Amino acid sequence: MKKIAVLLSGAGVFDGSEIHEAVLTMLALTKLGASYQCFAPDIEQMHVVNHLTGEVSAEESRNVLVESARIARGEITATDRLDIEAFDALVIPGGFGAAKNLCNFATNGSDCEIPLEVADFISEFADAKKPVGFICIAPIMIPLLYGEGVTGTIGNDVDTAQAFNLMGGHHQEAVVQEIIVDEANKVVSTPAYMLAGNIAEANEGIEKLVKKVLEMV
């Protein structure tokens, strides 16, 4: 049985992992006969957002690993405990947490950086030539991790696509149902809620991405 790592960034679309995307990823993996293990960095969130009002709760602070454990039903491991030999591939759901906690694209744009804990974790898969799937806004990290000319998609948002290219990547426009595959780097990406109007639309691309990642193992 193929074993896949799933990297989470909190719990909630505005400050963590997009919960629908995370759950659909785990569902797709299970339906296709793979097992998975959730991971998250043991770091503080950039901030906490009240998902009812959309406002930042300035007085609150939360931990990415602790919040991600909500989605993983408690079965989660810190990124610094990865045994790369135990895993065949990695999938990274989106949500603003991918642009706020896994990197700082939300505040720094094309000048963004990835925290060491996160960069080291994803780079272990890249260095081992193991497939990685990036969903929604998570693909914005692809150029920083894989270098000049790597191909990926965030959908068709002009400003985000321009940032992807400025960071050294080659952005390829895609609709919500599509995946973009960089065979040389074993990278797969799909827009999901960057474009999806509902959970069924998000699921189409996510299912295709998970299937392709498993095929590339």
Any idea what the CATH number is for the domain that residue 120 is in? 3.40.50.880
Per-residue pLDDT of the chain (217 residues; tens, 9 = 90+): 999 999 999 999 999 999 999 999 999 999 999 999 999 999 999 999 999 999 999 899 999 999 999 999 999 999 999 999 999 999 999 999 999 999 999 999 999 999 999 999 999 999 999 999 999 999 999 999 999 999 999 999 999 999 999 999 999 999 999 999 999 999 999 999 999 999 999 999 999 999 999 999 9
pLDDT the model gives residue 132: 98
pLDDT the model gives residue 34: 98
pLDDT the model gives residue 171: 98
* Exposure string over 59-93, b if 16+ CB within 10 A, otherwise e: eeebebbebbbbbbeeebbbbeebeeeebbbbbbb
pLDDT the model gives residue 208: 98
136 is catalytic: yes
Chain position carrying tokens 């193929």: 2
Nearest in space to 210 (alpha carbons), one of 152, 135, 139? 135
pLDDT the model gives residue 19: 98
Counted domains in the chain: 1
Give the torsion sign (CA, 175, 167, 62, 25): positive
Which residues span the domain enclosing 89? 3-216
